[in-house]
Amino acid sequence: MVLIEFEADMDKIFAVGDIHGCLDKLISLMAIIDIDLKKDTLVFIGDYIDRGPDSKEVVDYLIDLGQREDRVVFLKGNHELMLEDYLSGADRLTFLYNGGEATLNSYMKNTGQVEANPIPAQHLEFFDNLRLYYETEDYIFVHGGLKANIPLDEQDERDMLWIRDEFIYTDFDFGKRVIFGHTPFREPLILDNKIGIDTGAVYGNKLTCVELPAVRFFSV
């Protein structure tokens, strides 16, 4: 466990980075986060599935959490978009090339058979209801990032889910600090205009949560 503390504050938002089917790390992380969901807000930044072994179980966990607690926000990641494209037939290969086979295996391992669409209706509804972004007075939460000089409500969905260097290396002031995942770092990226919280859990590194506005990190 790694815990990095900065200045403390009162109103709390917690944002969790890319999980990618790593159920054990998700459970361990949730056990150490100092959160009160009666007053605090919990944001999941997207990429719940693919590459890791337990995508179905991660989504089960998140659905259960969302049903029990009101102050939980689920964002859409590019891997959920790839799943959407796979299921619609728009693009099957990109999903499979990017860890989708592990997701399908996770869903099929309890059925004992191969199905055209092994994903249950409750999970499909969860994926359909994911948000592209979440905005507060001080922060914008988005999976991949934003393009400079484009208003938030005019940003393109695929940019918000897939953008990397163009966003990461800009010092553009988006008006609010942007909290994002998608691009893995060994440690959280902390810049004046953004904080990156994907720390490569599925690659053997850590799953990270940031507490705001304290900029306090929990990692497992």
Distance, CA of 105 to CA of 86 (rounded, Å):
15
Distance, CA of 2 to CA of 161 (rounded, Å):
28
For range 32-57, the mean pLDDT: 97
Neighbours of 24 (CB within 10 A): 14
For range 74-83, the mean pLDDT: 98
- Residue 179's Cβ-count burial label (10 Å; 0-12, 13-18, 19+) is buried
Write out pLDDT tens, residues 156-208. Answer: 999 999 999 999 999 999 999 999 999 999 999 999 999 999 999 999 999 99
Distance, CA of 192 to CA of 219 (rounded, Å):
21
pTM, rounded to two decimals: 0.93
Residue 116 pLDDT more than 80?
A: no
CA atoms within 13 A on the CB side of 17: 29
Residue 2 pLDDT more than 50?
A: no
What is the assigned CATH class of domain 2-219?
alpha beta
Which residues share a beta bridge with 180? 142, 196
Nearest-5° Cα angle at 216, 147 to 60:
75
Q: Tell which wins on pLDDT, 30 or 112.
A: 30
Q: Where are the domains of the chain?
A: 2-219
